[in-house]
């Protein structure tokens, strides 16, 4: 049986995983999920990227939106607002609240996040092993200009992304706590035992980059015997969805499919897929020592996504040979 490890963020990672499962239903898939986006709201621990993967693969996702639950209502949010209790910019629905309550209760009882995630997945049966990158708290912060002063200030990633819609320049992206964090149980083992390691079209800075910032993870991926193949989240010099260009700018990387590949580098990547519209960038990636192909990379439906996953696995087999 093929063992596949995927380093995943939220929407891009989750949608890719659905295609991957469809392409190789018998594979044993371990997902290392980003927890840098986690935030405490109303006393509850919210893990947006883990939940997006869990709901998407478990059939509970709001399909059009890409995050949150289908058939959601917002009575709790409205009641909190009536008390004047915010933030109101983070949309937690009633069904979603239940997940965060269960998670917070279990964490309070002393279970590590990895065990809590496993317990939540018992309900959703995502068909993959979903591991948080770490059981330790890591919170991505973004340095922005302080409108009230002449200096800069750090805001939580969700405040930058959701409240500010990345409308102001990100000067730096800092995974606070990462230096002291340890990979969650099973993470390094899964990477070492993998037959293939995939970077889905997830955000290279605040999703895959944050996972790689947990000490030991980057080295384990670089040292793994398995080929590492990534798929570009940048198509036609822009993110397909969202504002990844803003955080790429913060780390000095252009928003092109080739610049992202070079940012990961040949020390990490063996193969890279760009979209057919970026075929002109293949040579640049190959010149950097990364095998590269141009194939359709739009996850319009499960079939198209499964075809992308199959291309990634084919490229992995090619670099292994
Ligand atoms: P987030 O945590 O919800 O932001 O999700 P991820 O980090 O997993 O993925 C976000 C990235 O997915 C964005 O940079 C998008 O450009 C990328 N993305 C979304 N849909 C597609 C798609 O259909 N094709 C490709 N190639 N990338 C996509
Ligand atoms: Ca995310």
Give me the mean pLDDT over the 183-191 stretch: 98
Percent of the chain with pLDDT over 70: 100
Nearest to 247 by CA among 266, 230, 234, 236: 234
- Burial (CB count within 10 angstroms: exposed 0-12, middle 13-18, buried 19+), residue 201: buried
Cα of first residue to Cα of last residue in the chain, in angstroms, is 18
Tens-place pLDDT, residues 262-289: 999 999 999 999 999 999 999 999 999 9
Overall average pLDDT of the 6-29 stretch: 98
* Residue 32 bridge partners (DSSP): 7, 131
C-alpha 138 to ligand 2 mean position (Å): 13
* pLDDT level of residue 150 (50, 70, 90 thresholds): confident
pLDDT in tens, 206-232: 999 999 999 999 999 999 999 999 999
Decide: 35 in ligand 1 pocket, CB within 6 A.
Answer: no
Q: What percent of the chain stands above pLDDT 90? A: 97
Any atom of ligand 1 within 6 Å of the Cβ of 240: yes
How many of the other CB atoms lie within 10 Å of CB of 102? 15
Helices (H), ranges, the chain: 11-23, 48-58, 75-82, 94-108, 113-124, 157-158, 187-193, 208-212, 217-223, 244-250, 257-264, 282-287, 302-320
Mean of pLDDT values over 108-126: 98
- Distance from C-alpha of 52 to C-alpha of 65, rounded to nearest angstrom: 11
Residue among 63, 240, 251, 303 to mutate when testing ligand 1 (max atoms within 8 A of CB): 240
Cβ of 175 less than 6 Å from ligand 1: no
Q: What pLDDT is recorded for position 193?
A: 98
**Residue 29, beta-bridge partner list:** 4
- Report pLDDT for 1: 87
280/286 Cα distance (integer angstroms): 11
| 265: its two tokens | 């580098």
- Of 46-60, 147-161, 237-251, least confident by mean pLDDT is 147-161
How many of the other CB atoms lie within 10 Å of CB of 59? 11
Question: 297: how many CB neighbours lie within 10 A of its CB?
Answer: 26
Instruction: Decide: 244 in ligand 1 pocket, CB within 6 A.
Output: yes
**Over 90: is that where the pLDDT of 40 sits?**
yes
How many Cβ atoms sit within 10 Å of the Cβ of residue 272?
Answer: 29
Nearest to 37 by CA among 110, 116, 119, 132: 132
> Which are the contacts of 6, defined by CB distance < 8 A and separation ≥ 6?
13, 16, 17, 20, 29, 30, 31, 32, 128, 197, 198, 199, 200
Q: Quote the ligand 1 centre to 10 CA distance (angstroms).
A: 8
Instruction: Tell me what pLDDT residue 149 has.
Output: 80
Output the CA 204–ligand 1 centroid distance in Å. 10
Alpha-carbon Rg for the chain, nearest whole angstrom, is 19
Is residue 118 scored above 90 in pLDDT?
Answer: yes
271 Cβ below 6 A of ligand 1: no
Residue closest by Cα to atom 11 of ligand 1: 202
Tokens read off for 228? 């590492």
Does residue 308's CB lie within 6 angstroms of at least one atom of ligand 1?
A: no
Confidence of residue 199 (pLDDT cuts 50, 70, 90): very high
Measured from the CB, is residue 140 less than 6 Å from ligand 1? no
Quickly count: other Cβ atoms within 10 Å of residue 211's Cβ. Answer: 31
CA distance 130 to 33: 7
| Average pLDDT in the chain | 97
- The per-residue pLDDT for 187 is 98
Q: How far is the CA of 72 from the centre of ligand 2 (A)?
A: 20
Q: What is the DSSP letter of 183?
A: B
For 163-173, how does the pLDDT look when each residue is reduced to its tens digit (9 = 90+)? 999 999 999 99
- Give me the domains of the chain, ranges plus CATH numbers: 3-134+180-320 (3.40.50.10680), 139-175 (no CATH)
197 membership: H or E segment, kind and range: strand 196-199
| Segment 157-184 mean pLDDT | 97
pLDDT tens, position by position, 298-319: 999 999 999 999 999 999 999 9
pLDDT value at position 148?
84
77 Cα: distance to centroid of ligand 1 (angstroms): 27
- pTM for this prediction: 0.98
How do residues 58-95 score in pLDDT, each as one tens digit? 999 999 999 999 999 999 999 999 999 989 999 899 99
Tokens of 208: 């895959």
Tokens 């590269």, located at residue:
292
Tokens for 72, please give them. Answer: 């959601």
- C-alpha to C-alpha distances, 30 to 33, 38, 198, 313, nearest whole angstrom: 9, 20, 10, 15
- For residue 30, list its beta bridge partners: 5, 129
Q: Find where tokens 């990961």 sit.
A: 264
Q: How far apart are the CA of 307 and the centre of ligand 2, in A? A: 24
Looking at residue 147, its pLDDT comes to: 79
49 lines ligand 1 (CB under 6 A): yes
Cβ(242) to ligand 1 under 6 A? Answer: yes
**Vertex 275: Cα angle to 55 and 211 (nearest 5):** 45
């Amino acid at each position: 049986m093929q063992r596949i490890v995927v380093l995943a963020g939220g929407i891009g990672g989750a949608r890719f995983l659905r295609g991957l499962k469809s392409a190789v239903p018998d594979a044993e898939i371990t997902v290392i999920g980003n927890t840098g986006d986690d935030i405490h709201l109303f006393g509850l621990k919210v893990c947006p990227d883990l939940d997006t993967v869990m709901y998407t693969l478990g059939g509970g996702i709001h399909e059009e939106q890409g995050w949150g639950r289908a058939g959601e209502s917002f009575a709790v949010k409205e009641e909190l607002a009536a008390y004047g209790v915010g933030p109101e910019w983070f949309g937690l629905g009633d069904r979603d609240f239940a997940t965060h309550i269960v998670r917070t209760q279990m964490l309070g009882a002393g279970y590590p996040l990895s065990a809590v995630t496993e317990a939540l997945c018992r309900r959703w049966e995502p068909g993959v092993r979903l591991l948080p990158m770490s059981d330790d708290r890591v919170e991505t912060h973004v340095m922005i200009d302080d409108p009230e002063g002449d200096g800069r200030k750090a805001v939580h990633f969700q405040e930058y992304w959701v409240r500010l819609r990345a409308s102001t320049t990100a000067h730096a992206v800092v995974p606070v706590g990462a230096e002291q964090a340890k990979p969650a149980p099973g993470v390094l083992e899964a990477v070492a035992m993998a037959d293939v390691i995939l970077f889905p079209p997830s955000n290279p800075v605040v999703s895959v980059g944050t996972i790689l910032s947990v000490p030991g993870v980057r080295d384990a991926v670089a040292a793994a015997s398995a080929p590492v193949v990534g798929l570009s989240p940048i198509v036609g010099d822009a993110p397909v969805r969202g504002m990844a260009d803003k955080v790429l700018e913060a780390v000095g990387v252009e928003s092109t499919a080739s610049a992202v590949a070079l940012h990961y580098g040949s020390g990490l990547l063996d193969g890279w897929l760009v979209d057919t519209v970026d075929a002109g960038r293949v040579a640049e990636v190959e010149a950097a020592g990364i095998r590269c192909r141009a194939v359709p990379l739009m996850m319009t439906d499960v079939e198209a996504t499964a075809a992308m996953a199959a291309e990634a696995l084919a490229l992995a087999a090619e670099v292994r040979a």
